[in-house]
Chains A and B, each alone.
Chain A
Amino acid sequence: MREKQIDKLKDYKYGFTTDIENIRAPKGLNKEVIEFISKAKKEPKWMLDWRMKAFERLKNLKEPNWQKPKYPKIDYQDIYYYSAPKSTSEKPKNIDELDPKLLETYKKLGIPLQEQQRLNGIAVDAVFDSVSVATTFKDKLNEVGVIFCSISEAIQKHPELVKKYIGSVIPLTDHYFATLNSAVFTDGSFVYIPPGVRCPMELSTYFRINASQTGQFERTLIIADKGSYVSYLEGCTAPMRDENQLHAANVELVALDDAEIKYSTVQNWYPGDEDGKGGIYNFVTKRGLCKGINSKISWTQVETGSAITWKYPSCILQGDNSIGEFYSIAITNNHQKADTGTKMIHLGKNTKSKIISKGISAGFSDMTYRGLVDISSKAKNSTNYTQCDSLLMGNKCGAHTVPYIKNKNPESNIAHEATTSKISEEQLHYCQQRGLNPEEAVGLIVNGFCKEVLQQLPMEFAVEAQKLVGISLEGSVG
């Protein structure tokens, strides 16, 4: 009956490659490569020592295998651990001096870096493969004492802060990928908000993988000192390639007394083609420590890209009265796989956490929500509320919910609810009767399904994310 051709191939508009000359470390994982990275970044000795410690530790660790999505064995000796555009070997002082090819790339990605065209109210740190190529609005942020720069720069200029906090939330020995990252991390962002400061603009990092056969090992560290507030957003894209590339990030957040960090992610790495060839392995460790009393960390993620997504942005609620939140939309289509969720570890008194997770699977994809809520015996009067909803589109895909719930405190309450369903025929019919085609109808209903999470995103990105939700499901109806 339906004559219209639905284009099965979803349009990944960030799939282009920038043709640029690179400096690379030799392929492989060894001492020399780690030294190369450390030297390229002009790191002090303590940092190199720290990396080496992680590398030693890595030898005794095995890759975890409890996750649902299995992947072919990764040959860690067949990856480039460092790749940077040649033109950035001396980081230009002024953004206008940046290689025009890089400027053009970011413009194409919708993130103009130059003074005149910058996004209003948003400071951007642009990470290209293994280096940060530019950070905007630095001066303006400096005026209020906010430090926003690449982690490489922070290691040189603010060693006392980095030394104090790096590895304090994700210990060097945590697990295979976290330890790997600690040994070979390349770039990422560093944020420090001084006491009492409300960061005057949104901070954001835009991660771009460009070079082939290269892994990206992001390291981000955000510290919100007493009584401060910051909202931070990261975005990610990569070219279309038929190889799998690894993005193994460590992100650490520390919120001191009365501080609040809002961390949002719009993850749109290349997901692979419709047969499941290529795409990014997004194996990420994100953890926030609510160290001080009354502190708050809120994670929001929109995960639409990557061949495999494997991440659990977590909160350790150490300070009394601290609050952890996790809002997630994860969409898998074609052959994508995701195993994502969060951990809420309640240690302090009167701590609260909230988890809202919306999973949508279509095509041949597979999606797992995995989460842990752990209320320790000392965490008196604490509460968690969890709501996990899954939508399935078709019967070739899977949707799974695996919550671990531990309550050791009689004065604390945990409530967990989960549902799995599909978009009802009646809802589709209703929308179509009002003139929407099936894809528009699905887009609308799915956006409604995700509303609670979309609302958490900063205004500027909510619209973008809504469109992404629609695009990610293209070809899954009919």
Chain B
Amino acid sequence: MEEQLKIDFEKLLEKSNFSKKNIEIKRKNFNNFIEKGFPNKREENWKFSDLNQIISKNIKNLSFYNDLSKPNKIDQSTFIAGLEHNKLIFVNGRIEKIEFDYEEKNNIEILDDLVLEKPNNANNSLLFLNNAFVSKFFKLIVKKNYSLKKPLVIYNITNKDLVSKSVNLKFDILLEENSSLKLIEFSNDKSTTNFININYNFDVQKNSILKNYKIDNNSNSNIKYYFNNISQDTNSVSEIFLLSSGSEFIKNEINCNLNGKYASAFVNGVFLLNGSKHHEIKTNINHLVENTKSYQLIKSVLEDESKAVYQGKIFVDSKAQKTDGYQLSKAILLNENTEFNAKPELEIYADDVKCSHGSSSGSLNEDSIFYLMSRGLNYKEAKKLLINGFLLDVVEKITDSEIKNLIKNIMSLKQ
């Protein structure tokens, strides 16, 4: 693979016109990636999901250069119906359309060829890979006091032409003071066995609100890694919801720094898996100052041979008195070969805090099924009703009612 990486990287540099400085930084990242490679289970962070193995098992002849010179057709049928929204459309990793029809143009700004400035010091090899190979680096700025009137949907569409490629995307999203954004990331994949690596950086400034809904719902054989870095200032709110269901493998990493007082973060997620799918969410919520709050709720329903992993960490700095931190993960295992792994972690250095976590996994409650059957439902109906109830609890946490309904529709369509 190293050979391929080198060839593809040189090809990328040759075909693009990156600045000298950019090339220099890319090279550094490239070399770091070559040195570390794809993460494997010997790394604590990847203990439950050996990416190196997953990639070599699922993707034959992975290549890293992606020709983005020719436009792709946009399949309109993938658009979300019944919801007025702004669009950023990517097809096979190429930006095809930017459309903010509902917004005041002077209150948002989009930059599309940002240069990497800081070298990545997270020691995360997939960020090295991303920085080395990403061709355009986007930045969206929502100006002070502006709230987007309609949600923004980032479409990540892939079609049949994309096979065994590594796709890298990178976004910076800045919410200036008093602003707000509802962001839906909507994946639609018809491609096969690619490794898609997406890096988001959210800077949520004072009094701003970020709502981020990540929807991956149609079955496909891609392997995906999302790294979401969120930093939050005073009084800001972030709300993240994941519907993690479609791809063969997904790991969503969420690193959230609560840097300002009264900042709060909510992470809710549904893992609905079948076949041999394997999805993970790993959160790091860092409470760094007083009076911050975090809440996490993750529920999984596992069928066939699927596997879900929740690794969640609440870190409380010694300065972060009056922290309120909570995490709960629950899983229902429906088949003999399913597996649920959890590592809910608390690392706490301040005493005046309220932190707790809970985790449970197991079968559907047979008593409840029996109760429902005694009221006339058959086994299948009873089971479905209970599972819906189990998951609905998470969906109800979505604070935007329009999007909540959308997601409810998507989920019940599926069942």
Residues of A near any B CB (own CB < 8 A): 66, 377, 383, 390, 392-422
Contacts and interface: CB of A to CB of B under 8 A. Distances in A.
A377 B350 contact: no
Contacts of A397: 349, 351
A410 B301 CA distance: 11
Contacts of A420: 346, 348, 353-356
A398 B348 contact: yes
A397 B349 CA distance: 6
Nearest to B313: A402
Nearest to B325: A420
B341 A407 contact: yes
A410 B362 CA distance: 6
B338 A410 contact: yes
B339 A392 contact: no
B44 A401 contact: no
B145 interface: no
A438 B93 CA distance: 64
B321 A395 contact: yes
Contacts of A415: 358-360
Interface of B: 44, 318, 321, 331, 333-363
A413 B351 contact: no
B360 A413 contact: yes
11 contacts: A392-B353, A395-B349, A399-B346, A403-B344, A403-B359, A404-B343, A406-B341, A413-B362, A414-B360, A418-B344, A418-B346
A473 to B, nearest CB: 14
B331 A407 contact: yes
Given A395-B318, A402-B343, A420-B356, A407 B350 contact: no
B351 A400 contact: no
Task: Identify which of B318, B331, B346, B347 gathers the most chain A CB atoms within 10 Å of its CB.
Answer: B346
B359 A414 contact: yes
B325 to A, nearest CB: 9
A383 B342 CA distance: 16
Contacts of B338: 408, 410
B363 A410 contact: yes
Contacts of A402: 343, 345
Nearest to B343: A404
A409 B333 contact: yes
Contact of A401 (B340, B351, B357, B363): B357
Cβ-closest 5 pairs across A and B = A413-B362, A410-B333, A392-B351, A405-B342, A422-B351
Contacts of B318: 395-396
A415 B340 CA distance: 12
Interface centre among B350, B352, B362 (most CB of A within 10 A): B362
Nearest to B342: A405
A392 B361 contact: no
Nearest to B364: A410
A230 B196 CA distance: 58
A403 B356 contact: no
Contacts of B350: 392, 395
A396 B321 CA distance: 12
A212 to B, nearest CB: 35
A401 B343 contact: no
Nearest to A367: B348
Contacts of B339: 406-408
Nearest to A372: B343
A414 B348 contact: no
Nearest to A422: B351
A343 B327 CA distance: 22
Residue among A408, A417, A420 with the highest chain B CB neighbour number at 10 A: A420
Contacts of A410: 333-336, 338, 362-363
B348 A403 contact: no
A398 B349 contact: yes
A405 B351 contact: no
A417 B327 CA distance: 10
A375 to B, nearest CB: 9
Nearest to B366: A411
B333 A392 contact: no
Contacts of B349: 395, 397-398
Given A393-B351, A398-B348, A410-B334, A405 B361 contact: yes
B362 A412 contact: yes
A355 B88 CA distance: 50
Given A393-B351, A413-B363, A420-B348, 14 more contacts: A392-B351, A398-B349, A401-B344, A403-B345, A407-B340, A408-B339, A409-B333, A410-B336, A410-B362, A414-B361, A415-B359, A416-B358, A419-B355, A421-B354
